[in-house]
Structure 1
Amino acid sequence: MKRQTVRVAAAALLASGVTAATAVHAQWFGSKESKGIPLQQVADMLHAVMESDRTVYTQRVVNRLQNEEKVIQADEHFMDKKALPLPAQMFRFGAEKVAEKTKSFSYSLLSLWPVNKQNAPRTAVEKDGLKFVADNKGKNYYGEETLGGKKYYTAVYADVAVSPACVSCHNAHAETPRTDFKLDDVMGGVVIRLPMN
């Protein structure tokens, strides 16, 4: 009788352990979570850093030195003209450096109205996300997509004109498809991609 009770208890313990292990595995590896942190939260944290750095460079370096103190210009041909890199270029340089260091995530700055045609959306999720953040100011877009046989969690965040330097550069550029941007307008979006498998 005692042995049978021990066997039943052992079987119950084993069954509950398998159930718990299955739940943990599903949570960590079979869902939209990365090592216990939800992918949306990871993307949001990455974006908070990116947006802060971009805003600081735009407002405290480019706008101050170019528009307020008139010490130096920002120009897309900054090397030739001994100028400051544009905020979008600084953002791209950061994305390229990250891509050299890790495949854990990628990010880019895209727009429905790109000055540089390479920064136009290519995937359906990018297009839908950019349209969503442009039409729903203050809201982010989250989706999933499969690219090259790999599944990705993709987040899109509004890129807003945070200083007069953004507006004047985009509205005056020879290649711009849109010339009516105002301060605080959504000009494009930051796209962050995290692999899901």
Structure 2
Amino acid sequence: MGHSKAGALLCGALALAGVTAAGCGKGGEGGAAGGIAPQQMADALYAVIAADRAIYAGQVVDRLVAEKAIKATERFKEEKTLPLPAQMLRMGAEHAQKTNSSFSYALLSQWPINQQNKAKTDAEKAGLDFVAKNPGKNYYTEEKIADKTYFTAVYPDKAVAAACANCHNEHADSPRKDFKEGDMMGGLVIRIPVNK
């Protein structure tokens, strides 16, 4: 699906939520240029993904753990606990990919607990390096994967709650054990196919 269709989907979703976005026409259709730009779409997706994660981590996980109501653990199904914030994000990404192929997203890190979350492409590696060295800045590029061109954005992923830092510091497979709340732990990669 090209960025025009993906942009139209995002414009439609924003319109349903009552949000007016530059590049979106009245009622959510794409503007004269055939939709919103991939960077604008990626930034909007990031805002929603980051907000959902921060609220889940802070208002659900940290609060319920502090109240000793329930724990959040890696084996949440077997242990009848809450999923960790990173697991919740991954489940959302997998569900979104099944229902809509106009974009994908994933948490990646230079210090992954799960090796699936290690950067694989040159763009992912460069993006993680950039956000680590340039606090508060995002990385944008285009990359070709299997003969398709993608707009790829990498956003800094910070430990949005104590639960994030504690999980990484206490995990046996973690290559780094000194994270604090607010530390950069990796990056959120958003990939949008573009017509080339």
**Common topology (TM > 0.5):** yes
Query: C-alpha displacement at 1:137, in angstroms?
Result: 1.0
Query: C-alpha displacement at 1:127, in angstroms?
Result: 0.5
Query: Unmatched 5+ residue regions in structure 2?
Result: 1-32
Provide, for residues 30-84 of structure 1, a one-character-per-residue CA deviation record: whole Å limited to 9, x for no partner: xxxx823111111000000000000000000111111x21111111100110110
Query: Unmatched 5+ residue regions in structure 1?
Result: 1-33
Normalization by structure 1: what TM-score? Answer: 0.81
Query: Aligned partners of 1:159 and 1:118: how far apart in 2?
Result: 16
Match of 2:36 in 1: 37
Match of 1:144 in 2: 142
Query: Runs of at least 4 residues of structure 1 off by over 4 A?
Result: none
Q: Which has the larger radius of gyration?
A: 1
Secondary structure of 2:153's counterpart equals strand
Name the amino acid aligned to 1:42.
M
Give the root-mean-square deviation of aligned CA atoms.
1.0
Query: C-alpha displacement at 1:152, in angstroms?
Result: 0.4
Match of 1:189 in 2: 187
Query: Aligned partners of 2:89 and 2:165: how far apart in 1?
Result: 17
Query: Aligned partners of 1:73 and 1:35: how far apart in 2?
Result: 47
Normalization by structure 2: what TM-score? Answer: 0.81
1:25-64 residue pairs with structure 2 within 5 A?
Answer: 35-64=34-63
Query: Aligned partners of 1:148 and 1:35: how far apart in 2?
Result: 25
Name the amino acid aligned to 2:136.
G
Match of 2:116 in 1: 118
Query: Aligned partners of 1:56 and 1:128: how far apart in 2?
Result: 29
Query: Aligned partners of 2:85 and 2:57: how far apart in 1?
Result: 6
Name the amino acid aligned to 1:184.
G
Amino-acid identity (%): 56
Provide, for residues 122-174 of structure 1, a one-character-per-residue CA deviation record: whole Å limited to 9, x for no partner: 00000110111111110000011000000000000011011111111110100
